[in-house]
Structure 1
Amino acid sequence: MSAMHDDGEAPGAVPRQAIAVVGMACRLPQAPDPQAFWRLLRDGRDAVTTVPEGRWLLPGAGGDTGSPLREPGTHRGGFLDQVDAFDADFFGISPREAAAMDPQQRLMLELSWEALEDAGIVPGDLSGGSTGVFTGVMGDDYAALARRPGPGALTRHSLTGLNRGIIANRISFTLGLTGPSITVDTGQSSSLVAVHLACESLRSGASALALAGGVQLNLAAENAVGAARFGALSPDGRCFTFDARANGYVRGEGGGVVVLKPLEQAVADGDSVYCVILGSATNNDGATDGLTRPSPDGQAAVLRAAHRASGVEPGVVAYVELHGTGTRAGDPVEAAALGAVFGATRPAGRALRVGSVKTNIGHLEGAAGIAGLLKAALSISHGLLPPSLNFERPHPDIPLDDLGLSVQRELTDWPAAKRRVAGVSSFGMGGTNCHMVLAESPPPTPSVSCRPEERRPAEEAVALVVSARTPGALRGQAARLRAHLAERPELPLSRVADALVTTRTVFPRRAVVTAGSRRTALEALEALAGGAPHPALVTGHHTPTTGGTVFLLPGQGCQYPGMARTLYHHPRWTVFRDALDQACHALDPHLDTPLREVMFAEPGTPHAALLTRTDYTQPALFALTTALYHQITHLGPTPT
């Protein structure tokens, strides 16, 4: 066994700057978001199905649609629903241009927006900043479909709509991002290489923030036929990763995006961190026996390079998310490389656990790496290892015990360790390999919260702000927010209220639910989702103006006994309390009774009666509105 420090640091290694995963979004078979994806993984579900009606139909005579494919392995796959659906108006895209756009462009726009929201970043706040976009893409099925009818079907939007390089550029253009904008194609390793390049860009300072991921949509029958005739597909329509039945892979589709920033910055910003990327590496197999034949030496080299970059020994890794296609040639080579690098450094009796998300959702080809990364990141975050499916007995050329490997066959807790550390592999058929070393984020530094939800009175009302571009979208947002709250009863309403106004873009169609209880909030959101009224619900449409913001302060007649007493004593509103004290200190020398005693008096008392006298009414209102002004401007809004 090689030497290793107690904390797993590799002797002589120089770890590079850690990169934090602060947000994510995905659209995967039977998993429209990361939460659904985790449930699918945790429950060990198989999302591979028969081919949906209308997919993978070759053109017949005269351009008519032909019959379904009969090639081995083309009868099943992992598919998305409604790949043609897209809210073009949301992104300011005309219907004609949207129709000419590759759905992969559309999907990556949506996922980038969702990932930023998951990270608590308002997309509009990034405009003009050095945010990089790195997108892995291998397929161009939509281009093949668009060109089938001939040149007459092409429009002025076809060039930009069908160009794969535009997929990253479209995101940068739409969000106004001025950092690097790169579409990567290294075959099946494209999306993990895109994440690797994003990390390098952050470390070099070329990007301050990065969106990275990949997409794959399987729309054209020709590409399915090509994969089948190449011999890559499993006639059974399943990925039997590392299993004796391994005979090819089943195709899958989808996309994923992660939001990345340097760990130090994420900690300073108070971000929630799914995991950190300690290091990564990419290489190529070089000259092998064939262009598509993998090399155990090349794969072992990229594993070692990634660990040198991460600064940790392979022996501390508990789990590796495999490339794991389930092919006869690929699986034994990958296993041999893992054994060579990890087997020699494993503690006795502690085999390296391995698995493949391809057994759940199929091989996403150009987006396979991001799917594996998301699985590993969620596993680290939850402290659980989900099962790898379709494994009964090992491939005869994969001696698991000799290699120090063990296929993860059931849901278990993460193995006990000082820190959860995992690896993710992705290999392209042309020999471009990528490996990444992930770990759990360090514990947050204790700090005094500026938003102490735990000190809010239980009965205090909060305002839940929901907005969208259209009435239908507003109802949809309300339904999703209600479901989110219903599924997470432990989540404080105050925390949700804060997030809705500080981490979400505010659109013209708006609604506010004012609720002092979870029950009221759920009822009002349900009413909003159904287009019904509710006493706790206010809706409206904001029309932008050029006049700016005006603060209008009330005059005599709005005073009442006890006004501002609750606000003054609330621990959250210290600016209001200090400003009111300052005003009262200036006014009290001119009054017979201290002003606060008059303002806070109980109704019916002699002091409360003084509040009706002009010589007390006017100073009280002046002190109150001055204090309110200071508190409101401290929170952000300022009058023009």
Structure 2
Amino acid sequence: MTRPDAAPGEGSGRPYPVAVVGLACRLPGAADPGAFWRLLRAGADAVGEVPADRWGADGTVRHGAFLDDVGDFDADFFGVSPREAAAMDPQQRLMLELAWEAVEDAGTTPTALAGTAAGVFVGAIWDDYAHLTYRGGAERITAHTVTGLHRSILANRISYLFDLRGPSLAVDTGQSSSLVAVHLACESLRNGESRVALAGGVNLNLVRESAVGAERFGGLSPDGRCFTFDARANGYVRGEGGALVLLKPLADAVAAGDRIYCVIDGSAVGNDGATEGLTVPGREGQQQVLAAAYRRAGVDPTEVQYVELHGTGTRVGDPVEAAALGAVVGRGRGDAGPVRVGSAKTNVGHLEAAAGIVGLVKLALCVRHRELPPSLHFASPNPDIPLDELGLAVQRELTGWPRPDRPLRGGVSSFGMGGTTCHVVVRDAPTEDVAEATGDGWTSWVLSAKTEPALRAYARRLGAWLAGQEDVAPAVVADALARRTRFAHRAVVTAAGGDEFAAALAALADGRPHPLAVTGVAADRVTAFCFTGQGSQY
């Protein structure tokens, strides 16, 4: 119930916090959250030339951050016919894959969520695949075209295939869409309409026209880089991909013993109102949203250590964002030091509808790993951004958090071109909130897939992941794998160390026998235990 004197959107005091318990992403140069974290830590830049299978280097828009093989999709895995899959926007296909991965990353399965009040909130703004479809004329239109192209189905198809009964909606607030989707998901959890929620966004750049439109709008950098807060700032470079988080009330996550990436204490959404132009950002509106987010979270802004910026690297937008941020979190910091700031757009480009969720995933990983990676392409500050006066400092190298002995508090900002602004307040989970499996000695890893080739591919991916880890607790991996969906084709690897697991997984991937691995096809029957007394003759 809202207080009679509460300001719009304030709610009834501090809301209970929300836990981020599952992550999934597919980004340029990073096929999953682990790869994204390695890219961030290394200070890598995934921007390159436009691939030939899109529209190639046409002299107008030559740079971007792109995914490989956006047309790939295992339709049979999701029970989708080949004809329907061909009619589906690749953004729908990607969201299905990410939803499955986020659910499994949270230590549960789609089957366990079936029939429950699980919400789905997906930010999206472009319809490139619809343009490609309609170019082919009326003969390209089939019985599956409407559902294949309709933006609402980005969320609804997940709810349908997973049998989720909570709210299911696509969100379009421009470039802030995916972070607004997170805000709406948190509100749905807080008012009890959802028990768990998937939230995020997607953005695929499939046609030349959308790229040319961004260039003629004046948003793109002719250098093909995002120079966030830098004196060279002259626009952004487009990126593509998608990400989803699985959210639960913190109390439920703790009770279930879930791994918690980070905790969302509060968020706020607003609009700049009447500024100097429809797409000109307003400092006052941004400042109000920032202040409301920290007020709702019950957090003193001086406790904030890091903010993931909207940070597009535009001449107008960067100074406005810096001024508003400095006014709210940069003031009165005393011995706390400046707020560190950075932008993932310098690594993977501006994912537009999915930009906000990329920022949240980055911050969740920063909290989880207790490190802050560098923000790229910063040499000297924009002359209109007096960083020292504003109490801000661009994160230029890989470091720990400034005050690791304090709660790791951060924020994420995302702005739409029409003025809709969102800010989410994040912190680390108390150590007692985090439960993980431990143990030494022999451990079994269980793998399963729908087909034998898929099982081999699964073993290869798991082996590749293992090769990139410096220190793996086999029991933690075993616990995570045991929680995943069980399909008919199965393998069990029993080993005591990483080298042994790696060797057995390599053998599975190649279809070779290995003494530590067992494979088989599960029978579709009920398991029974017989206690026959003397036993052996049975």
What's the TM-score once normalised by structure 2's chain length? Answer: 0.94
2:91 to 90, 101, 104: 104
Structure 1 counterpart of 2:380: 393
Shift of 1:88: 0.5
Shift of 1:412: 1.2
2:326 to 339, 344, 355: 339
Counterpart CA distance in 2 for 1:446 and 1:91 is: 32
Structure 1 counterpart of 2:341: 354
Kept in 2, the 8 Å contact 1:303–1:435? The answer is yes
Q: Does 465-474 or 534-543 show the bigger shift?
A: 534-543
Q: Specify the code of the residue in structure 1 equivalent to 2:180.
A: V
Kept in 2, the 8 Å contact 1:56–1:224? The answer is no
Counterpart CA distance in 2 for 1:432 and 1:480 is: 39
Shift of 1:271: 0.8
Kept in 2, the 8 Å contact 1:90–1:469? The answer is yes
SS at match of 1:444: helix
Does 2:485 match 1:505? yes
Does 2:527 match 1:549? yes
Kept in 2, the 8 Å contact 1:314–1:345? The answer is no
Kept in 1, the 8 Å contact 2:257–2:434? The answer is no
1:241 to 228, 242, 261: 228
Structure 2 counterpart of 1:522: 502
Q: Specify the code of the residue in structure 1 equivalent to 2:175.
A: Q
Does 2:431 match 1:432? no
Counterpart CA distance in 2 for 1:521 and 1:339 is: 50
Does 2:281 match 1:274? no
Shift of 1:557: 7.0
Shift of 1:247: 0.7
Size of the alignment, in residue pairs? 526
Structure 1 counterpart of 2:298: 311
Counterpart CA distance in 1 for 2:507 and 2:303 is: 52
Q: Could you say if the C-alpha distance between residues 557 and 21 of structure 1 is closer, same or farther in structure 2, counting changes exceeding 3 Å?
A: closer
RMSD over equivalenced CA pairs, Å: 2.0
Structure 2 counterpart of 1:70: 59
Counterpart CA distance in 1 for 2:251 and 2:496 is: 37
Shift of 1:329: 1.1
SS at match of 1:120: coil
- Map 1:16-35 to 2 at 5 A: 16-35=15-34
CA deviation vs aligned residue, 1:515-564 (integer Å, no higher than 9, x gap): 4555443332221110011233322223424xx333344564739xxxxx
Does 2:144 match 1:145? no
Structure 1 unpaired stretches of 5+:
1-12, 58-67, 560-620, 622-640
Counterpart CA distance in 2 for 1:107 and 1:446 is: 30
CA deviation vs aligned residue, 1:228-273 (integer Å, no higher than 9, x gap): 1111101111111111111111000010000100111111111111
CA deviation vs aligned residue, 1:353-402 (integer Å, no higher than 9, x gap): 11111111110000000011111111111111111111111112111111
Q: Could you say if the C-alpha distance between residues 287 and 525 of structure 1 is closer, same or farther in structure 2, counting changes exceeding 3 Å?
A: same
Does 2:411 match 1:423? yes
Structure 2 unpaired stretches of 5+:
1-11
Kept in 1, the 8 Å contact 2:55–2:207? The answer is yes
Counterpart CA distance in 2 for 1:232 and 1:314 is: 31
Structure 2 counterpart of 1:577: none
Structure 1 counterpart of 2:515: 535
What's the TM-score once normalised by structure 1's chain length? Answer: 0.79
- Map 1:587-626 to 2 at 5 A: none
Structure 1 counterpart of 2:458: 477
Shift of 1:209: 0.3
Structure 2 counterpart of 1:79: 66
SS at match of 2:166: coil
Structure 2 counterpart of 1:47: 46
Shift of 1:87: 0.4
Runs of 4+ in 1 over 6 A off after TM superposition: none
- Map 1:44-443 to 2 at 5 A: 44-56=43-55, 68-71=57-60, 74-348=61-335, 350-416=337-403, 417-443=405-431
Shift of 1:152: 1.7
Counterpart CA distance in 2 for 1:271 and 1:446 is: 7
> Greater relative contact order (Cα 8 A, min sep 6): structure 1 or 2?
2
Q: Could you say if the C-alpha distance between residues 526 and 230 of structure 1 is closer, same or farther in structure 2, counting changes exceeding 3 Å?
A: same
Q: Could you say if the C-alpha distance between residues 30 and 267 of structure 1 is closer, same or farther in structure 2, counting changes exceeding 3 Å?
A: same
